[in-house]
Amino acid sequence: MMDQRMVDAINKQINAELWSAYIYYAMAAWLEDNDLPGMATWMKAQVQEELFHADKFFGFVAERGGRVVLSPIDDPGKDWDSAAAVFKQAYEHEQWVTGNINGLMDLAIELKDHATASFLRWYVDEQVEEEANTSAIAQQISMVEGSASMFMLDRELGARVFTPPAAAGE
């Protein structure tokens, strides 16, 4: 059985993952509306990834005898000044998520909850990738925005599909 503080903290993270999906869906809608379907597809894959993360946390809490309690999700926003602003916010959001994951790891260490610390290692590593990807795209968009290269970048990002990691599905 997990310490109730850890259950509460993971429930908060489940909510954060669902909110992340909601934010990325709002971003996808804005990108679609601004004729950037490839970037919208990239964001929709990100939505699936965030839902996968929430579901993985959900299953872990249930498996450890805790109760999952969902909370209301905040408004995700709906307007951005540019595609660069969308991906800059996505990068900043991923930095925020990294802080949350690090806080969970700190709590697991404090509670000497080795099972949760082991579970969280995947998320710690995943956040390095999340930050790197969103930062790189934000930088690329900043370099090409307003040029014909934006069309090529949009097409490239549209090729992304969400595939659950093999090791994460265990």
Identify the band that residue 170 occupies on the pLDDT scale cut at 50, 70 and 90.
low
CA-to-CA distance for 3 and 154, rounded, in angstroms?
Answer: 46
Identify the band that residue 43 occupies on the pLDDT scale cut at 50, 70 and 90.
very high
Distant-in-sequence, close-in-space partners of 114: CB < 8 Å, separation ≥ 6 = 108
User: What pLDDT shows up at residue 5?
Assistant: 98
User: What pLDDT shows up at residue 67?
Assistant: 96
User: What pLDDT shows up at residue 150?
Assistant: 67
- Amino acid present at 121: R
The tens digit of pLDDT for each residue in 128-155 reads 999 999 999 898 888 777 766 767 777 7
Answer yes or no: are the C-beta atoms of 16 and 70 closer than 8 Å.
Answer: no
The tens digit of pLDDT for each residue in 70-115 reads 999 999 889 999 999 999 999 999 999 999 999 999 999 999 999 9
User: What pLDDT shows up at residue 124?
Assistant: 96
Q: Which CATH class is domain 4-71+80-162?
A: mainly alpha
User: What pLDDT shows up at residue 144?
Assistant: 77
The pTM score is: 0.86
User: What pLDDT shows up at residue 167?
Assistant: 65
- Displacement of CA 28 from its chain's centroid (Å): 14
Q: Among 12-16, 17-21, 68-72, 141-145, whose mean pLDDT is lowest?
A: 141-145
Question: Is the C-alpha dihedral spanning 61, 63, 67, 68 positive or negative?
Answer: positive
3-class DSSP string for the chain = CCCHHHHHHHHHHHHHHHHHHHHHHHHHHHHHHCCCHHHHHHHHHHHHHHHHHHHHHHHHHHHCCCCCCCCCCCCCCCCCCCHHHHHHHHHHHHHHHHHHHHHHHHHHHHCCCHHHHHHHHHHHHHHHHHHHHHHHHHHHHHHHCCCCHHHHHHHHHCCCCCCCCCHHHC
Distances (CA, A) of 66 to 19, 70, 110: 21, 13, 19
User: What pLDDT shows up at residue 97?
Assistant: 97
pLDDT-above-70 percentage for the chain? 96
